């Protein structure tokens, strides 16, 4: 497999960190982005291939442009961009406050828009590239109501991604657009969620390394959709069948 240059946001922990380490183990060069410098540097130090860490606030457009430009300066190209940064909140619809709403929309949705607008014009110039947007099966199934605004933000990510795919399909067939739908994953996500996380047993949590392995395969073999957990895919099918009366 030819070495790729991969940019990963939210790379200081969880899925992003595991993905960076595994891609680097395959010989890919990685640019890791997150707000926490210490944690980001620690993950970068665990990457065996060439890497760089860029402290980035994904909710700031200028930071995303700087991430792109610094990666291009270092590696002279970008092959894959992974919009992975995300945060949850433990609030049902009627409990949401304005600050919580704004925080979740910024981190989960605005960051994806900024990432797409930063990298896709570069891919268009090259007529090739791979954009990976990390969503959630909760964007398809309202299974966990205390993730209300997180689920809504991820649903909007799905819509933005599919609209971009349609815009590029005819003129840029070699730009791949992928949506990843993780299920429950063993990461610090639940501990860092605003308002905490109630006890839940809706799906057995996947090991983060398993999810990262599946995403490595996606980067090696691009396709439109990846469900990291078949149970999540089945839940989504059952939900839409019941909702639409199919």
Please identify every residue annotated as catalytic.
150
Contacts of 132 (CB under 8 A, 6+ apart): 80, 81, 82, 83, 84, 178, 180, 215, 218, 219
Residue 128 has a CB neighbour count (10 Å cut-off) of: 13
Distances (CA, A) of 35 to 16, 87, 123, 180, 215: 13, 13, 25, 22, 22
- Dihedral sign (CA 108, 110, 114, 120): positive
The rounded distance, in Å, linking the Cα atoms of 35 and 85 is 10
- Strand ranges in the chain using DSSP code E only, listed in sequence order: 5-9, 29-34, 51-55, 80-83, 129-134, 175-181, 185-186, 206-207, 225-227
Task: From residue 6, give the alpha-carbon distance in Å to each of 9, 30, 83.
Answer: 10, 5, 11
**78 token code pair:** 């970008």
Show the tokens assigned to 49: 């291939």
3-state class (DSSP) for residue 143: coil
């Amino acid at each position: 497999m030819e070495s790729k240059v991969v940019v990963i946001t939210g790379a200081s922990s969880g899925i992003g960190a595991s993905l960076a380490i595994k891609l680097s183990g395959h010989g890919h060069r990685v640019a890791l982005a997150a707000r926490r410098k210490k944690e980001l540097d620690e993950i970068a130090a665990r990457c065996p291939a060439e890497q760089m860490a860029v402290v980035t606030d994904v909710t700031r457009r200028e930071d995303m442009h700087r991430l792109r430009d610094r990666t291009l300066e270092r590696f002279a190209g970008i092959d894959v961009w992974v919009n992975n940064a995300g945060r949850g909140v433990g609030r049902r619809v009627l409990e949401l406050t304005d600050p919580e709403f704004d925080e979740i929309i910024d981190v989960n949705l605005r960051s994806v828009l900024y990432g797409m607008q930063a990298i896709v014009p570069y891919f268009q110039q090259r007529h090739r590239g791979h954009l990976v947007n990390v969503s959630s099966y909760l964007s398809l199934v309202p299974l966990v109501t205390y993730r209300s605004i997180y689920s809504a933000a991820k649903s909007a990510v799905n819509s933005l991604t599919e609209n971009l795919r349609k815009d590029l399909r005819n003129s840029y067939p070699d730009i791949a657009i992928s949506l990843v739908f993780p299920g429950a994953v063993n990461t610090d996500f639940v501990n860092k969620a605003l308002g905490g996380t109630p006890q839940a047993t809706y799906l057995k949590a996947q090991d983060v390394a398993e999810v990262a392995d599946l995403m490595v395969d996606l980067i090696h073999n691009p396709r439109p959709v990846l469900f990291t957990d078949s149970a999540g895919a089945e839940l989504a099918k059952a939900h839409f069948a019941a909702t639409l009366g199919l």
